[in-house]
């Protein structure tokens, strides 16, 4: 069964886009057919991480929802921008073109996800959502099979994540899982994982350390993807993300 997974967080900057891009690449490298919906319209991070130029983005999901194009026109192929051959297939689907407004009939959104999955033959649809509980993020989350919540060890995140979980429960999300990211060096990762699981009573798929190497990953300015797991396949974060990807798609 194909899976729709939204990657979300209460606060901006927790690492959603980095984790989404890397998990997608891991899955596609293992032979799966994967698409990422980039919901960030003001600075499309997924597009930047994979080194896709604005000129390559001709149509968006928003255009499809307005009947302006077919669903296949919204998908940008990403395999050729990655320097490792992927066994599977990877696509980017921009929610809207840069700086345009997302405005659509919510009832059509769920159908558009299904059509995307069927037309591209997807195994996994990952949605890099907008942070917070603002209206822009909620429809995508509501139509997901799994919500992956990314948080850091900050007071604001700890409280906000509780709020997000409450709202997602009301939206009827069956499966909510967590990843704790950017954990400062002196913490015991296993203890953090157990503590956060206790607080929210949800599985914590990984407790990821803060890594200078990953912090340095800037959006690509050339036409190539800059993907951490491709460049550092044996780094602890890459190994932990491989587990996360496997659990999400099990
Ligand atoms: N484990 C980590 N260690 C160090 N830096 C990290 C880690 N994870 C992510 N980062 C860095 O944190 C910054 C924010 O990450 P990212 O853009 O993925 O967050 P985001 O949640 O998508 O933000 P936004 O909500 O603004 O879309 C980036 O510079 C990224 O490289
Ligand atoms: Mg982002």
Whether residue 181 is predicted with pLDDT greater than 90 in this model: the reply is: yes
From 25, 49, 215, 236, the mutation candidate for ligand 1 (largest count of ligand atoms within 8 A of CB) is 215
β-pair partners for 94: 38
Confidence of residue 220 (pLDDT cuts 50, 70, 90): low
Confidence of residue 134 (pLDDT cuts 50, 70, 90): confident
Interval 64-92 mean pLDDT = 94
Ligand 1 centre to CA of 16 (Å) is 6
Q: Where are the alpha helices (DSSP H) in 2-69?
A: 16-29, 45-49, 61-65
Q: Where are the alpha helices (DSSP H) in 41-188?
A: 45-49, 61-65, 106-120, 138-142, 155-171
Across all residues in the chain, what is the average pLDDT? 93
pLDDT at 153: 97
Whether residue 146 is predicted with pLDDT greater than 80 in this model: the reply is: yes
* CATH code at position 134: 3.40.50.300
Number of domains in the chain: 1
Q: Determine the structural domain holding residue 38 and report its residue range.
A: 3-249
pLDDT at 197: 98
């Amino acid at each position: 069964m194909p899976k729709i997974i939204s990657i979300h967080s209460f606060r901006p900057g927790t690492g959603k886009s980095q984790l989404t891009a890397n998990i997608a690449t891991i899955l596609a490298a293992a032979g799966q057919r994967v698409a990422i919906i980039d919901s960030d319209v003001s600075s499309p991070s997924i597009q930047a991480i994979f080194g896709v130029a604005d000129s390559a983005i001709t149509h968006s999901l928003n255009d499809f929802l307005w009947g302006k194009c077919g669903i296949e026109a919204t998908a940008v192929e990403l395999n050729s921008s990655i320097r490792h051959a992927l066994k599977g297939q990877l696509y980017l689907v921009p929610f809207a073109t840069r700086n345009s407004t997302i405005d659509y009939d919510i009832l059509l959104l769920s159908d558009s996800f299904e059509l995307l999955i069927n037309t591209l033959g997807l195994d996994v649809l990952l949605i890099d959502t907008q942070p917070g509980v603002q209206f822009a993020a909620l429809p995508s989350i509501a139509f997901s099979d799994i919500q992956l919540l990314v948080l850091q060890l900050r007071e604001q995140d700890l409280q906000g994540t509780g709020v997000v979980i409450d709202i997602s429960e009301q939206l009827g999300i069956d499966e909510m899982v967590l990843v704790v990211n950017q954990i400062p060096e002196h913490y015991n990762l296993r203890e953090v994982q157990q503590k956060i699981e206790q607080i929210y009573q949800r599985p914590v798929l990984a407790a990821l350390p803060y890594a200078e190497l990953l912090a340095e990953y800037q959006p690509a300015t050339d036409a190539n993807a800059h993907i951490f797991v491709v460049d550092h396949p044996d780094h602890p974060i890459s190994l932990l993300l491989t587990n996360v990807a496997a659990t999400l798609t099990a």
